[in-house]
Structure 1
Amino acid sequence: MDELPISIDAILWIVLVILILCSAFFSSSETAMMSLNRYRLKNLVKKGQKSAVNANKLLKRPESLISVILIGNNLVNIAAASIASVLATRLLPENENLALILSTILLTIAVLVFAEVTPKTIAQKFPERIAFPASYLLKPLFTVFAPLVWVMNHLVGSLLWILRIDTKSGSSDALSTEELKTIVTESGEVIQTQRQDMLLGVLDLDNVSVSDIMVPRNEVVGLDLDDDIESLAEQIKLSHFTRLPVYKGDLDKVIGMLHLRDANDFLFSENPSKVMLKKATIDNYFVPENTPLHTQLINFQKEKRRMGLVVDEYGDVQGLVTLEDLLEEIVGDFTRDILFNSKDLHEQNDGSYVAEGSTSIRDINKTLNWKLPTEGAKTINGLIVEQLESIPDSNMSIIVGDYVIEILQIKDKKVMTAQLSNKKKQKQLDL
């Protein structure tokens, strides 16, 4: 009888190495499939990439996928342990107990290093490179292991039912607003900084209401029909705005909104009258002050409007909001340099800022990258009154978090100007 060209021991060693490689395949496949970016995967599926389509089909049945991988992994690991024991007893026939102990220790180390830690680390770092090719091998294994998977899934389902664990109410792949913000913020060089700011602006629309961005009532520029004809004509000619509210005596008695292009008949008429202005106005568009910005953006689009009067729960006009104000929350201010073009905020030589009492806190936070509280008061005057819980009657300083606010001027029970400084920034300058 001819001798075998290769010994039994060599064959066992070859089979053992193959089994460890198979174990590495199953381990890396599991990690890679579960580490795939689901949103990138869906995008590749839309593009028709075949390997992505295969992987996506497998991930639609995660319980079965895990069962197939675990069955395969356990089978090869058990087979590897059996062969390792046979090899150990053949190498140390005089001491089988020592041989089994050594085979267990050495095989455990080999499996951990070559079939678990190393392949899983690589798979976690390069999930697509591992998962996509692996999907072609895992797909036929679904058919081979189908009976075992069916039995296992039913056993597991029964056990979970006994433990009263509901698998149908598991976590969803849907991302919350805060999670989306984190993704955008950590996108790094993938998305330009300007585009990041725009995306974050869109996501922040839910947290901002119309009252946060409106032009306050005392700053609304409009046409009072109680003024004489000459004064009204002069206001229209010198107006920096294309749309003006028209009212009689008080902003709460608003008649309508006037687009300056519709005022030509009034301006160039030989006998202009206030009736001509009334006829040129369009109906008022009122906006509740607590309307979220994302809702108001849609409302502007539906109503084909660019401007609305903001009213409180009693119907009193609180201010005015424009489409431009809303868009600035997304794309940023349209002016190049907000700080130096601002009439309400002036930088001082010592690093502090002088602001008018009516300056919006949100504008200050955006301009200076500060974090003054915005939950309650909307202006510096309102913030000071809120902190003091009374109307200040003399110049004083208050501390709000990391910021110092010093009252510079008070008039008609209102803070007209205040000096703002950042304590942390001031300490850095002192150092």
Structure 2
Amino acid sequence: MTSPWSRSAAWTDELTIADVPVSVLAERFGTPSYVLDVPDLRTRCRDVVAAAARAGEEHGIATSVYYASKAFSSVAVLRWAYAEGLRVDVASLGELATALRAEVPGAAIGLHGNNKSEAELDLALRNGVGRIVIDSLSEIELVAERARAAGVTAPVMVRVTTGVHAGGHEYIATAHEDQKFGLSLASGAALEAVARILATPELRLLGLHSHIGSQIMVPEGFVEAARSLLRLRSEVFASTGVLLEELDLGGGFGVAYTADDDAPDVPALIAGLVGTVAQVASETGEAAPALSFEPGRSLVGPTVTTLYRVGTVKPVRLDGGGERLYVSVDGGMSDNIRTVLYGATYTAALASRRSEAQPVLSRVVGKHCESGDIVIRDVMLPADIRRGDLLAVPVTGAYGRSLASNYNQMPRPGVVAVGEGDPREIVRRESIEDLLALDLG
């Protein structure tokens, strides 16, 4: 079992993160707040880069790791990730602008997206991005057109829909045929894309890309996707004489949201995939490709804890007998929509004091005008939990702030960094004035 709490989380009389009591953080920065354990984040980044590099050196394969910034993008986080040896994967104009503001060199940035705009492509090309991942046949000419206008040759990869898909929910399994991403291997679209790109002088084809899903706990899907990409690579070589330089196996490595989840050792998993690709490539008689990976959730997810202030607490009788305690907090689906969107599971703990009260079946809910506004469906909390207590929910770094909204005109929480100097906000909490400033009346 894997602990869901960040590595510097500890309990004394209350929860501390990087030796800072949560009551101090709540008093200083307010609630809800996303609290980022910076040493944990930096260690996870460093470990995954080192594991990939060691395995690559052992097998004679160049490796690179991209931080999938869709999980959570901020200037400080991207600076830390780049400082620890990661490159950065972006999928929108805003994510690209954030990476550039963080002073990540263009050559260390990869641009994704199934519907890239001219503005996104132009900014990427002006800044010399290291790769643009082609997601459709029609995008080939669009990227070539923007490259001609910029007077550059665009480095590109082809996103291949391998038919291998994995993950915790249909919406986050991304390699089956009936979905918006990539070019199908089975239909021949991926091979056609390769041929078109090789015939387009404004484009330089680096290799093949695959992403099979998210919250994946076992390596088998990655291995099968890698085998599919290597077969396509061999087919391209046989027909064109071009041996593609690189394969990207994407990300989607799972994390432990509760103590019941058995999350993979991501550095070890990546190292194992490097070895597998080396072995399969040797069976073809071809030189092994460079390999890249795109973890996001597994790096930032476990490093963030959301702090809430408890409001209304009330027991509700269940239809089959017994009771459930409904614990309302000062946030909800606007700061963590994953429970509603994916049926995601989380745990929680009373964070501001110790309690000897008997644990009781509880449901943590938000303050929005939706009966489905649920943060945690079922969790055991002390029977004496009361208004004013602090409640901590771990593993909210991935897709918490990124998917946050202003539903019910709720300002989005700030992100507070701890463990690297004085605690500070790296993303400012929104205010009512911020919301009203956008309303032109």
Higher radius of gyration, 1 or 2: 1
- Of structures 1 and 2, the one with the larger relative CO (CA 8 A, separation 6+) is 2
Q: What band does the TM-score fall into relative to the shorter chain? A: under 0.3
More helix, by proportion: 1
Give TM-score scaled by structure 1 length: 0.24
Q: Which has the higher strand share?
A: 2
